């Protein structure tokens, strides 16, 4: 009877994941996650495997800055309806398709190039992939939120993250296996072909409903008046003014008005939280190769095994957030991410190639901490976004969270060449200290805010 009762509760919950919007978003999440590693750690492994200098490899981290500045064109993606595709597919799906085709084209171009002879063209192709991918992300975030009612948003987020993580596995372990068995060009050619899965999912998807132009004007008129503290008469203004104020200015004004003087502190925290793991990540695959591990060993341990540790960390963090709220798991993640870099420093001091089990242990700790930190961080960012400006504010947060790390990681190869891997990983660990301090400050601020009603009453 107990089992029947559990099944009666579990069956409806599982059936949510069979609904069309949820299945679609998992496939689109796959298309969103696929290009990320192909212009980041997988690309650095390719470059190092062909003997490209580590200083040059480090500068390739700056390609990822494209993800960090997508907020500048997010209002365009949010508001501009593409002339032909927009009519055929709808506003969200048309922009996602443009991104998908740009990713496939960039990966195809990379597969036809030799990094030794055409390093600059590899950089240009990687930049195309990153730009198309970040544009897809902006449209896809809006599509995900608009495609289902509030009761399905939890399942939509879980399905999206699962698809994204599977894509990281394919672009990491899958590409390394293909490169080891065949060659790097075929690996990137296969990745370009794999984008067809996301394109087919997009064609199967339904365009979500949008507010009409009149409804948007009414909504924005109310929000703008509330933010500015006086009537702005948005409906009477020219179209370009309504667009500029509603799409670009108001999302930022609302955030600063809501958070007051702590707004800058929150933005500083968002920018610094991932600086440690992003800085370390660009040199991870070159580090494994220089230690003497084969590409297949890296794929099986660092990518495949690490994938499951990341999923476990995410699930564990979900339980911790339910039990303790967001801030304490966020603090735990910040401490763990910084600390695990010291394990890499210890491994770098080992003479010769360390045992494979040692690599597995360090990778397990790193991915477990990453799963906890990233899940808590996404929950925190989601809590910071106003529902009226979710796309633009979330684009701001997700852009800012990678910008400092991407910039600093560009110098990672110079640090390794100048001092060594052990010293580099110690520096990466130290870079995580400010985020720990800022979490403690934000926790104290949150506790003070929660205590205020009690003092007033």
DSSP 8-state symbol, 365: H
Residue 227: the pLDDT is 62
* Per-position DSSP letters for 155-186, written without gaps between them: HHHHHHHHHHHHHHHIIIIIHHHHHHHS-HHH
Scored b (16 or more CB within 10 A) or e, 247-280 reads bbebbebbbeeeeeebeeebbbbbbbbbbbbbbb
Q: How far apart are CA 304 and CA 41, in angstroms?
A: 14
Model pLDDT for residues 66-89, shown as the tens digit of each residue = 877 787 787 788 777 888 887 888
Residue 276: the pLDDT is 84
Neighbours of 350 (CB within 10 A): 12
Residue 219: the pLDDT is 61
Residue 250: the pLDDT is 72
Model pLDDT for residues 114-156, shown as the tens digit of each residue = 888 888 898 899 999 999 999 998 888 778 777 766 556 556 6
Residue 10: the pLDDT is 47
Neighbours of 89 (CB within 10 A): 19
Residue 91: the pLDDT is 81
pTM: 0.69
Residue 42: the pLDDT is 85
Residue 150: the pLDDT is 54
Neighbours of 419 (CB within 10 A): 12
Give the chain's residues under pLDDT 50.
Answer: 1-3, 5-7, 9-10, 455-457
Domains parsed from the chain with CATH numbers: 16-216 (1.20.1250.20), 231-259 (no CATH), 261-452 (1.20.1250.20)
CA distances to 300, 378, 391 from 169, in Å: 10, 20, 27
Neighbours of 139 (CB within 10 A): 23
């Amino acid at each position: 009877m107990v089992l029947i009762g559990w099944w009666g509760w579990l069956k409806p919950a599982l059936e949510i994941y069979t609904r069309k919007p949820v299945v679609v978003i998992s496939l689109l999440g796959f298309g969103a996650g696929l290009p990320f590693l192909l212009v980041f750690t997988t690309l650095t492994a390719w470059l190092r495997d062909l003997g490209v200098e580590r200083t040059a490899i480090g500068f390739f981290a700056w390609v990822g800055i494209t993800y960090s500045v997508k907020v500048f064109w997010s209002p365009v993606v949010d508001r501009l309806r593409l002339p032909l595709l927009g009519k055929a597919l709808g506003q969200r799906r048309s922009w996602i398709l443009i991104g998908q085709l740009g990713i496939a084209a960039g990966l195809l171009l990379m597969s036809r190039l030799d990094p030794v002879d055409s390093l600059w063209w590899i950089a240009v192709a990687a930049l195309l992939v990153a730009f198309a991918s970040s544009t897809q992300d902006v449209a896809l975030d809006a599509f995900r939120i608009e495609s289902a009612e509030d009761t399905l948003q939890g399942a939509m987020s879980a399905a999206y993250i699962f698809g994204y993580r599977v894509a990281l596995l394919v672009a990491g372990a899958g590409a390394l296996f293909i490169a080891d068995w065949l060659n790097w060009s075929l690996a990137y050619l296969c990745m370009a072909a794999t984008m067809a899965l996301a394109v087919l999912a997009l064609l199967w998807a339904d365009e979500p409903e949008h507010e009409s132009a009149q409804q948007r004007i009414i909504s924005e008129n109310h929000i703008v008046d509330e933010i500015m503290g006086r009537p702005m008469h948005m409906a009477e203004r020219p179209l370009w003014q309504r667009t500029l104020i509603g799409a670009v200015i108001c999302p930022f004004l609302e955030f600063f008005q809501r958070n007051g003087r702590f707004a800058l502190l929150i933005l500083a925290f968002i920018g610094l939280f991932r600086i440690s793991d992003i800085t370390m990540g660009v040199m991870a695959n070159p580090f494994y190769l220089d230690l003497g591990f084969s590409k297949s060993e890296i794929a099986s341990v660092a990518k495949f095994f690490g994938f499951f540790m990341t999923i476990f960390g995410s699930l564990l963090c979900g339980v911790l957030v339910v039990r303790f709220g967001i801030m304490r798991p966020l603090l735990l993640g910040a401490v763990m991410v910084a600390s695990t870099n010291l394990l890499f420093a210890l491994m770098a001091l080992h003479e010769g190639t360390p045992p494979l089990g040692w690599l597995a242990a360090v990778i397990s700790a790193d991915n477990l901490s990453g799963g906890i930190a990233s899940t808590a961080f996404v929950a925190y960012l989601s809590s910071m976004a106003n529902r009226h400006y979710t796309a633009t504010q979330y684009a701001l947060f997700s852009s800012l969270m990678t910008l400092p790390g991407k910039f600093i990681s560009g110098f990672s190869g110079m640090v390794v060449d100048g001092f060594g891997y052990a010293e580099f990983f110690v520096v990466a660990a130290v870079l995580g200290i400010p985020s720990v301090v800022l979490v403690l400050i934000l926790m104290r601020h949150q506790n003070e805010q929660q205590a205020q009603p009690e003092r007033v009453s």
